Amino acid sequence: MDDWLESLGDDPLAVLEGWLDEAREAGLHEPEAAALATATLDGSPSVRIVLVRGIDELGLRFYTNYESRKGAELGLNPVAALVFHWQPPLERQVRAEGRVERLAEEDSLAYFRGRPRASRLGAWASPQSRPLTDREQLDRAYREAEERFGDDDIPLPPHWGGYRLVPHAMELWQGRRNRLHDRARFDRADLLWSRVRLAP
């Protein structure tokens, strides 16, 4: 019997939630940070770090400007990959690959309302991924947002919200001595996961 593989259970998303909790308990900086890879229609890739802000039985949630580069690429080619990597003492990695869907507006609004006020203003101020003349242009847009909303509630921008990556495949990796790491791949069909051990 493969004890490590068996210990993972049948749901890699549940394992990911547990590993995230352990990363937080270990005091790792920004354990929710993951590399998000998207691609254009012709397959040209791009990657950046995002913060994963929720996991459910369907997948992983993150939030951004829909008009950013990643938002534009996801609009045309709604598939992506996410990678978490946690250094010692955990030495773990999780990969998730699948289609990406927009969250309902009420889900985005609920998350947006919980963000710090300055971050909510920043979502209005930043024309994410577009060229700026200089820093002053961005600072001026932020001041204008402050003046526009004053002490009022800051509404959800129409160009900002959440996505869910719905993985069809996930890999879990546990670092071991001599680079003989433990590595498992999970594949999902009809909401059921199958698993296999992979060579490191």
CA distances to 63, 149, 153, 155 from 108, rounded to whole Å, are 8, 19, 15, 11
- Within a domain: residue 39? yes
Token match 């040209």: residue? 44
State the pLDDT confidence band at 75, using cuts at 50, 70 and 90. Answer: very high
Q: What is the tally of structural domains in the chain?
A: 1
Which residues, at least 6 apart from 61, have a Cβ–Cβ distance to it below 8 Å? 52, 53, 54, 55, 103, 107, 111, 162, 163, 164
Give the model confidence (pLDDT) of 158-171 as tens digits: 999 999 999 999 99
Q: What is the CA radius of gyration of the chain?
A: 19
Amino acid at 24: R
The mean pLDDT of 16-26, rounded to a whole number, is 97
- Within a domain: residue 78? yes
- Helix segments in 26-125, DSSP class H: 69-76, 105-113, 117-125
Q: Chain-wide mean pLDDT for the chain?
A: 95
- CA–CA separation, 195 and 124 (whole Å): 43
- Within a domain: residue 164? yes
State the pLDDT confidence band at 190, using cuts at 50, 70 and 90. Answer: confident
CA distances to 57, 140, 172, 182, 191 from 175, rounded to whole Å, are 26, 47, 10, 7, 28
The mean pLDDT of 134-150, rounded to a whole number, is 94
Give the model confidence (pLDDT) of 92-118 as tens digits: 999 999 999 999 999 999 999 999 999
Please report the pLDDT score of residue 2 as a whole number: 80
Q: Check if 176 is active-site.
A: no
Tell me what percent of the residues of the chain surpass a pLDDT of 70: 100
Please report the pLDDT score of residue 191 as a whole number: 82
CATH number of the domain bearing residue 90: 2.30.110.10
Asked whether the predicted pLDDT for residue 125 surpasses 90, the reply is: yes
Please report the pLDDT score of residue 108 as a whole number: 97
- Within a domain: residue 146? no
- The catalytically annotated residue of 99, 179, 185, 197 is 179
What pairing do the DSSP bridges indicate for beta strands 60-65 and 79-86?
Answer: unpaired
- Within a domain: residue 60? yes
- Within a domain: residue 7? yes
Q: Which helix (H) or strand (E) holds 83?
A: strand 79-86
Asked whether the predicted pLDDT for residue 1 surpasses 90, the reply is: no
- Within a domain: residue 133? no
Domain range holding 81? Answer: 3-116+159-197
- Within a domain: residue 135? no
Tell me what percent of the residues of the chain surpass a pLDDT of 90: 92
